[in-house]
Structure 1
Amino acid sequence: MVYLDYAATTPLRPEVLETIKNALELDFGNPSSIYQIGKKTKRKISSARESIAKLLGIIPNNLYFTSGATEANNWAIIHQAQTARKLGKGNHIVASAIEHPSVRETLVFLEQEGFEITWIYPDENKHITLQAFEAASTSKTTGWVAMAINNEVGAILPTVDLGKSAKQLGYWFHVDGVQAIGHQLKTLIPYVTSLSVSAHKFYGPKGIGFLVYQPWETAMLLKPFIHGGSQESSKRAGTENTPYILGMAKALELSLDEAAETQANLFEINQYLIEQLDNSAITFAINGDNDSRANHIINLWLPGFSSSQLLIQMDLAEIFVSAGSACSAGSLEDSLILKAYYPDDSQRWQESIRLSFGNQTTKEDIDKFIVQLNLIKERNHSYGI
């Protein structure tokens, strides 16, 4: 098996699995209970919150555990938009046009609620720029939205510069930080009012994540998203998922400890893929922003290869790649991200695949991918495809 879809999800690390297993067995008490085993579990959750906060350099009270980034994106964006409008600040939001579906569809929902959204598309150099955000803003603008790293093409957006400007202008600023774990997360944290994370993108469990919420002004303090009990400072009701919270804290610790080494390895794998493609008879181009691209994601245009057919043929060879976001897969629709980058090139939308790398990716994996790609090319040629 060759797994080249780490941007979709990552395997659980053994150390994280052990942490989860221990918690399932030993920390089963309800954290809201007042007897000893409940209090013990509550302390474990508090310790995990403090550990994550220390790793990220934030205040523990600004960290809220969620079911993942989709929930965190919905919570942060809807709350800030609605609160700013109630305060009379306006109803206009500026957002990048290459956001993940959990952000894009949340903004579409807000449009239906009377908000005005201006979408910032990549410019002629394939860049999303601060200047474009500033030019699109008006007297009614209240917030900006931009992901840290695009999940389909790996483009690194200028979130630090956007955050600095947003703070000066008095706008709330939300960042989907899912693909930035172990990459640039700690760097951008001081420049956001809200940021979302999912544990399963950094070798933690699925179904758990967190929201960092730190508004520029007290009038924008976070309001409850799920009503009920007093969990998460009465902001998100429901009995805490203790094993996964502890597992996520462990996964984040390991990810950040190894960040430098991981980045060096991912860069080497990325460059090796490009070199091997250059040395092959495969015609290709790299999609998206080549001036600022994450090491763990590469989106390839392969003229003459149908994306849908290529995925099937790779799957049969037990080589697992993607044609875009896992959250919008299954329908085989054209990628909205590639449409944003190449609005007049429909062929490119239908002949591109995404490869993404992780800590288990080897050069041998890349070699197997290249070999299979050449076999598919030869097979298609023989059939006149």
Structure 2
Amino acid sequence: MVYLDNAATTAVRPEVLKVIHDSLLNDYGNPSSTYRIGKKVRHSMIQARKQLAELLNVAESEVYFTSGATEANNWAIRSQAEKSKELGQGNHIVTTAIEHPSVTNVTKYLETQGFEVTYIQPNERGEITVQQFIDVTTNQTIGWIAMAVNNEVGSILPIFELGEEANERNLWFHVDSVQAVGPMAYDYSQLKCTTFVGSAHKFNGPKGIGFLIYRSFQEHNHLGPLLYGGGQENKMRSGTENVPYILGMVKALELTFAEQEETFNKYEKLHHYLLDALNELDIEFEINGDMNNRVPYINNLWFNGNIASQMLIKMDLDDVYISAGSACSAGSLTESDILKAYYPDQPERWSQSLRISFGYQTTREDIDQFIQSLKKISEGKIDLWHSKKLQN
């Protein structure tokens, strides 16, 4: 099997599985309980929060555990937007047209609730710039939203510069940092955002656990409760905490940060190896997204004349697993809104592009097998009729 869809999810590392297993088996007490086994679990969670804060270089009081980034994005954006409007500060939000669905679908919902949203399009060079945000900001603007790294094409957005400008304008600033936490050597203490999020399954942790980092920026505009109940997470997110997965997430991030520089260098070498191998075999392709500001571990390539949905089926038959974009659309495969934003006048790109994304376990041999599958597809050696028959 060749797995090259790590932007969708990553394999849980054995060390992480052990931490989760041990916690499930030995420390199953409710952390809100008053007896010893509950207190022991609570202590483990307190230590995990402290360690996560240290890894991200933020304060312990800023860390909230969630079920993942979708929940965290919803919570952060809705809470800050609704509070700002309630305080009479305005109703206008500036975001980008290339955000993850867990952000864009929130802002679309807010538009039905009386908010106005401006969606920044990539410029002719594929960039999202600070000046674009400044140019559309008005006296009714309450907040900015920008992702750190785009999940489909790997473009890097100027979140640190945006944070400086948002802070100067007294705006809340939300960052979806899902594809950056782990691989990117960011100092989050220097990121002037009010909220940012991460999800464990993007850095070899378990699915169903993530975090929200919240920093208060105004006395009255503070984070509102997501869930009401027993008062967990400082009365902000009630419900018994998933301590085994919290411990697993922190272990995964610890391992990722320990290997960060080595892994990133590996990704750069794999990126160049992939492009060189395609060129050597005269396989025609173009890279999608911002050519100058991009990560090496997410590669979105346009194979002109090849329908992505058909290529995915054929790759699947050959035991090679990639994607054509975000994996967060309930198993459906539609034309990419991200590619539409980058290439509004090139509709062929929307349905003819593939995403190849690396993980810590990716090897050159994986890329070789991917290239061989491409060759077999181009030579008609993987028959689509047989793939349909297998699916029925």
How high is the TM-score relative to the length of structure 1?
Answer: 0.97
State whether residues 11 and 203 of structure 1, in contact with CA within 8 Å, keep that contact through their aligned partners in structure 2: yes
State whether residues 57 and 186 of structure 1, in contact with CA within 8 Å, keep that contact through their aligned partners in structure 2: no
State whether residues 227 and 235 of structure 1, in contact with CA within 8 Å, keep that contact through their aligned partners in structure 2: yes
3-state secondary structure, aligned to 1:179: coil
| Residue segments in structure 1 that go unaligned for 5+ positions in a row | none
Q: Which residue of 2 aligns with 1:158?
A: 158
Shift of 1:184: 3.2
Mapped to 2, the partners of 1:50 and 1:255 lie a distance apart of 17
Q: Which residue of 2 aligns with 1:286?
A: 287
1:372 partner letter: S
Shift of 1:369: 0.8
Q: Which residue of 2 aligns with 1:346?
A: 347
Q: Which residue of 2 aligns with 1:118?
A: 118
The question of 1:297 aligning with 2:298 is answered yes
3-state secondary structure, aligned to 1:191: coil
Shift of 1:329: 5.7
Q: Which residue of 1 aligns with 2:332?
A: 331
Q: Which residue of 1 aligns with 2:47?
A: 47
2:332 partner letter: S
Q: Which residue of 2 aligns with 1:196?
A: 197
Shift of 1:185: 6.2
Aligned Cα root-mean-square deviation (Å): 1.4
* Superimposed CA distance per residue, residues 60-92 of structure 1 (whole angstroms, 9 cap, x where no aligned partner): 111000000000000000000011111111000
3-state secondary structure, aligned to 1:326: coil
Q: Which residue of 2 aligns with 1:218?
A: 219
* Superimposed CA distance per residue, residues 228-252 of structure 1 (whole angstroms, 9 cap, x where no aligned partner): 0111001000000010000011011
Shift of 1:188: 4.2
3-state secondary structure, aligned to 1:210: strand
3-state secondary structure, aligned to 1:23: helix
Q: Which residue of 2 aligns with 1:66?
A: 66
* Superimposed CA distance per residue, residues 201-237 of structure 1 (whole angstroms, 9 cap, x where no aligned partner): 0000000000000022222221110010111001000
How high is the TM-score relative to the length of structure 2?
Answer: 0.96
The question of 1:77 aligning with 2:87 is answered no
Q: How does 1:137-152 map to 2 (within 5 A)?
A: 137-152=137-152
3-state secondary structure, aligned to 2:230: coil
1:328 partner letter: S
2:30 partner letter: N
3-state secondary structure, aligned to 1:55: helix
State whether residues 185 and 260 of structure 2, in contact with CA within 8 Å, keep that contact through their aligned partners in structure 1: no
The question of 1:265 aligning with 2:232 is answered no
1:260 partner letter: E
1:342 partner letter: Y
* Superimposed CA distance per residue, residues 164-193 of structure 1 (whole angstroms, 9 cap, x where no aligned partner): 100001110000010001233633453210
Q: How does 1:303-314 map to 2 (within 5 A)?
A: 303-314=304-315
List, as ranges, runs of 4+ consecutive aligned residues in structure 1 with deviation greater than 6 Å: 380-383
**Comparing 180-189 with 55-64, which one deviates more in the overlay?**
180-189
Q: How does 1:178-193 map to 2 (within 5 A)?
A: 178-184=178-184, 186-189=186-189, 190-193=191-194
Mapped to 2, the partners of 1:187 and 1:44 lie a distance apart of 25
Mapped to 1, the partners of 2:376 and 2:250 lie a distance apart of 43
State whether residues 31 and 239 of structure 1, in contact with CA within 8 Å, keep that contact through their aligned partners in structure 2: yes
Shift of 1:257: 1.1
Q: Between Structure 1 and Structure 2, how many residues are aligned? A: 383
Q: Which residue of 1 aligns with 2:3?
A: 3
The question of 1:14 aligning with 2:14 is answered yes
Provide the identity percentage: 53
Change (3 A) 1:382 1:12: closer
Shift of 1:372: 1.1
Shift of 1:382: 11
3-state secondary structure, aligned to 1:65: strand
Shift of 1:331: 2.4
* Superimposed CA distance per residue, residues 289-336 of structure 1 (whole angstroms, 9 cap, x where no aligned partner): 010111110000001211000000000000000000000263221000
Q: Which residue of 1 aligns with 2:256?
A: 255
Mapped to 1, the partners of 2:186 and 2:218 lie a distance apart of 22
Q: Which residue of 1 aligns with 2:388?
A: none
Q: Which residue of 1 aligns with 2:106?
A: 106
* Superimposed CA distance per residue, residues 136-167 of structure 1 (whole angstroms, 9 cap, x where no aligned partner): 10000010000000000000000000001000
The question of 1:135 aligning with 2:141 is answered no
3-state secondary structure, aligned to 1:261: helix
Change (3 A) 1:329 1:25: closer
